[in-house]
Chains A and B, each alone.
Chain A
Amino acid sequence: MLLKRLFGIIPVVFGVLLLTFLLSHLIPGDPVEVMLGESATAADRSALRAELGLDQPLPIQFVRYLGKLAQGDFGASIHSHEAISHLLAQRIPATAQLALLSLAIAIMVGLPLGIIAALRYRRWPDSLATVSALAFAAMPNFWLGPLLMLVFALWLGWVPVSGMESRLSIVLPALTLASGLAAILTRMTRASMLEVLNEDFVRTARAKGLPERTVILRHALKAALLPVVTVVGLQLGSLLAGTVITETVFGWEGLGRLLVESIEKRDYPVLQACVLVIALTYVVVNLLTDLVYARLDPRVRFSS
């Protein structure tokens, strides 16, 4: 089963590569003309066409694309002529830092809120947690971000408005990015806990006189967290995609910002590379989530 799951991602990865490759062929009209603008000479155009291999048939272009990727060669930026692998290496650490901090915040907020809501079912802590989870889920990053910026940076002056000069610069983008996942985690943990708290083994644990703390934390929570793990894995994707907007709002120089800059400059090879890196990261994260799930849940074992 483990091998099956591992091999299962091969067609997906192949499809992701094919779709990102085909992206540049969706550009209406002549991509070279779009990339270079109208002022370019015919010589410039044919040079770029040859550089991108656009004079070759599609299948050959795709095989070349794969061959280069296998060597870690993402091509060069049309705008700055820099190697894209170099650009990515510059930007990925900032995004990784932001995404991991957001994940940590979301877990530290979402799990306790969900547990408290389940334990105080239908009382005010539950209502408060449920309503705020609903509200935060309806707040896209490009609206929560400016709101936090207005209150905490412009009015209160606690943190910088944007950029990444100060150590506190990461606070607002991380909170913004964490909000959606925290909301979903709260809802999921609450629902999962409510289900588990009615199970026989929880009643048994209580009946044999275990302290309530042990019943909740050792017995109920352990079982309730299983479905939550899957959700975290799946939602990490939305978090990765959310970096595109959040980094734009706060001027955080990461992968998402690079992607938006590449759109503005019509630097399609850079755009392709960013999309590919984010999608492949997501595929790997999902694989890891399944493996973690299999380790946590004795009922799922990948080995036969």
Chain B
Amino acid sequence: MKKWPQVVLLFWCAMAVIAPWLGFQPDAIDLAHILNAPSLTFLLGTDDLGRDILARLIAGAGVSLTVAGVVTLVTFTAGTTLGLVAGYYGGWVDRVLMHVTDVFLAFPGILLAIAFAAVLGAGVDNLVLALCLTSWVGYARLTRAQALSLRGRQHVQAAQTLGASTPRILLRHVLPMLAPALLVEATFSIASLIIAEASLSFLGLGIQPPHASWGAMLRDGVRYLLVTPHYVLAVGVSLMSLVLAVNVLGDTLRDNFDVKR
């Protein structure tokens, strides 16, 4: 019971990975079976175009996890590098970075991602780009603050005296010290990226039809809320289970590493 977040996360990852071998056709339209209730053939029923909701739910999980994974990888690398350099060197590089992050943080929540996605145009590439453009800020601020305080530490000064190169100091003596905090940050960031992807898709900005995504499915489901309430419920519960699992995992990591937010 205590390991349920790991189990839920693994479940969705596994479903996303084995989806191609399950023989589902998430995009196959079947007008003879529109808005069916759950049955043995369609475990979660069908949507307004007769598509299998379970198949689309699994396809959507894949999209959600892939987008969150790719964006996390890119922004983690970019944000951490920027923060390390700015915090370690200080000076004008640091001031410029701080001003830029201040501006990005002035746009609350998902607003800037919506704006970027809207002008870039719909589609999964632009969705990833919009999320990358807005999600690096947290890593940069965190790394910068830590690097700033670490550069005066004795072990860093010792490395400097011994003539270690700056990249080596940053990678071997500074980065490892803040790995726990970054890992916790990344975990929470994955949860908010899953929500962000679904939000943008809900607004019609993310993954385009006929392909499935949780946000777009929720939007479709709301239209048939009275006829097929299980549609919205299935997608919502799936989304919530994944986000909850990742968040609880983040809490556990934070407590284990004793990281302060």
Interface size class of B (residues with CB under 8 A): 35 or more
For chain A, the count of residues having a C-beta within 8 Å of the partner chain is 47
A16: B residues at CB distance < 8 A: 103, 106-107
Is A268 touching B119 in the complex (CB atoms < 8 A)? yes
Q: Quick one: which of B84-141 are within 8 Å of A by CB?
A: 99-100, 102-104, 106-112, 114-116, 118-121
Q: Is A36 part of the contact surface with B, judged by Cβ < 8 Å?
A: no
Q: Tell me which of B198, B199, B225, B240 contacts A135 (CB under 8 A).
A: B240
Q: Tell me which of A19, A237, A244, A245 contacts B103 (CB under 8 A).
A: A19
| Nearest CB in chain A to that of B191: its residue | A138
Listed from nearest, the 8 A-B pairs whose CB atoms lie closest are A237-B108, A15-B103, A241-B109, A143-B236, A138-B244, A138-B243, A238-B109, A263-B118
Q: How many A-B residue pairs have CB under 8 A?
A: 133
A–B pairs, 16, beta carbons within 8 Å: A11-B102, A12-B102, A13-B106, A16-B107, A19-B107, A20-B115, A138-B243, A146-B225, A149-B222, A150-B225, A150-B233, A271-B118, A275-B115, A278-B108, A279-B106, A282-B107
A87: B residues at CB distance < 8 A: none
Q: Mark A181-216, 1 if CB is under 8 A from B, else 0.
A: 000000000000000000000000000000000000
| Nearest CB in chain A to that of B204: its residue | A264
Q: Is A95 part of the contact surface with B, judged by Cβ < 8 Å?
A: no
Is B222 touching A146 in the complex (CB atoms < 8 A)? yes
Is A154 touching B198 in the complex (CB atoms < 8 A)? no
Q: Is B70 part of the contact surface with A, judged by Cβ < 8 Å?
A: no
Is A245 touching B202 in the complex (CB atoms < 8 A)? yes
**Which of the candidate stretches A22-30, A39-47, A116-124, A290-298 sits at the interface with the other chain?**
A22-30
* SS of B interface (majority): helix
User: Shortest distance in angstroms between B236's beta carbon and chain A's nearest beta carbon?
Assistant: 4
Is B120 touching A28 in the complex (CB atoms < 8 A)? yes
Contact flag A134-B248 (CB < 8 Å), given A26-B116, A26-B120, A142-B202: yes
Q: Is B1 part of the contact surface with A, judged by Cβ < 8 Å?
A: no
Q: Quick one: which of A145-171 are within 8 Å of B by CB?
A: 146-147, 149-150, 154
Report how far A268 CA is from B118 CA in the complex, Å: 9
B100: A residues at CB distance < 8 A: 15
Q: Is A242 part of the contact surface with B, judged by Cβ < 8 Å?
A: yes
